[in-house]
Structure 1
Amino acid sequence: MKGQQAVRLQSNQERHSMKQALLLKDLIRDRWLYLILLPGLLYFVVFKYVPMFGLIMAFEHYQPHLGFLNSPWAGFKHFERFFTEPQFWMLFRNTILLAIYNLVFFFPLPIILALMLNEVRQKLFKRFAQTLLYLPHFVSWVVAVGIFYILFTTEGGIVNEFIARLGFEKIPFMLSEDWFRTMIVSQSIWKEAGWGTIIFLAALAGVDLQLYEAARMDGAGRWRQLWHITLPAIRSTIVILFILRLGSFLDTGFEHIFLMLNSMNREVGEVFDTYVYMKGLTQGQYSYSAAVGLFKSLVGLVLVLGANWAAKKFGEEGIY
């Protein structure tokens, strides 16, 4: 028995040594690939994982001069305060509505634009259209909101001047509660929809052209080819991006919302992001704002896990 155990132990050690040798060989062979991976890995470690230590602030009465480890413990008091705040339901409603509007109106547009561009046969026009669609992405939100302000302001705005010439009253687009969400979604679509087509166009480039030829021989028109070949080919990409989108469901964009906020539309425009800024940076309530941010992150995590589970139930790959 002892001899068998010794032989088994030696065999396990040999297998372990062999695995280590193979791993080392693979690392040496692919050393340049790992070197290319290193900057991206360092970015996530330094800017994503290391700051997670600061989440302890949400459970403390954080004092900058005492630091994370010496600040007095608060438990769940900040969360209890947040959920009992009179503003909570207003913030929750505004954030959820903007997130839903973006998901319903903004998310499908890059797919539609990619499908439309994929059908364009004139290469010169296709490149020109892609350039026009991509350009707004490189414009900062400050400039984007400024452009919309010039167009829609009641004091000389082109749109309102046109409305006045038609004999109607000018509409305060930038101040009205009724138009706030429409303006936010419209600006997001104008700025980012074109840029979002890049991934879908890359997925469409991988579709086998022989499938289209076979479909045409069977008498399928453009619409049937789109429905039975193109969309199924990019379905997995759509599902993955949808799941990732849900991870930032409550991230409505601080800078964008902040630039559009004013005293007239604050009731419908105040969201979790602007609330965190107001409480954390302007009023110095660091622990409380950290608790609000942690709540947002947990909601995003639950949505990603749920969407990934649902995707696998329907036969898709998901993100893990």
Structure 2
Amino acid sequence: MAKYKIGIIGFGKIARDQHVPAIAATPEFQLAAVCNSGGGSPPDGVPSFDGYDAMLKGVADLDVVSICTPPGPRRSIAAACLAAGKDVLLEKPPAGTVTEVADIAHRADAAGKVAFATYHAQHNAAVKRAADMLAGKTLKSLRVTWKEDLRRWHPGQDWIMAAGGFGIFDPGINALSILTRILPQPVFISAAELFFPANREAPIAANLTFGTGLATDGQLVGELDWRQTGPQTWSVDVETTDGTKLTLVDGGAQLQTAGEPPFVGPADEYPDIYKEFAALLADGRSKVDAVPFQLVADAFMLAKRTEVAAFDF
């Protein structure tokens, strides 16, 4: 029997495609309500509300919420839900600004509730195995290649290329979250160039230079681009000073190492998120990691701005 009745706020594509089946696969949770569906149909038998305030009032025994809206309003939504006595799970990025993430963590602590900022790429079994392989080693070189087709993955979503939409860092934060999960040393942004379409307020591509502050640093770079058509590229190449080399491909789903067959774990990023959320709830413990998001903010802070051709959906 489910322990927690959960509501989804922001019932869009990611909620329908990932959160609903993950909740169904996790026995600790029961989907009890959705809101802000944007015209999409809720699962059979699940009540739907126009807004989260109506949902909170209409489902009095709701225990937890998953906030899957665009990032801009997430802090205010999380604050209202925490004040109403609900635990909260946040899609990535967890809020509109890094400061807002800290506010959510503070409010959860003050309310005695759990807040969980999630980064789904970290939940790949291949990413976890890569982290184990790199533990205790010293980074030598790094190359992140994160190139995909904006029109394919976010058709018509103009908000994502507006100010506050993060542009290429909406998917790019997945790569950064993998780095913060697997690398044996903390990594920083040391330089960046962001490429802004002439008619948009968010970058469509980024070239990043990383650093760890160690003398062993070689070439530590990242290339992110939302203009790639055809095959999509999501890879992270790492080399350490002792000669260990590994590559994560397919967004962290597959681990490649020399002389070994590729390791591919189960396709269970989101079920693993909800498994961890259940454990956090059982312990009464929050997990609000802002480091991947801080790297995004640092890239904007340090970046050279370059204008490129206009982009239209």
Determine which structure has more spread, i.e. the larger CA radius of gyration. 1
Identify the structure with the greater strand proportion: 2
Identify the structure with the greater helix proportion: 1
TM-score for the superposition, normalised by structure 2: 0.23
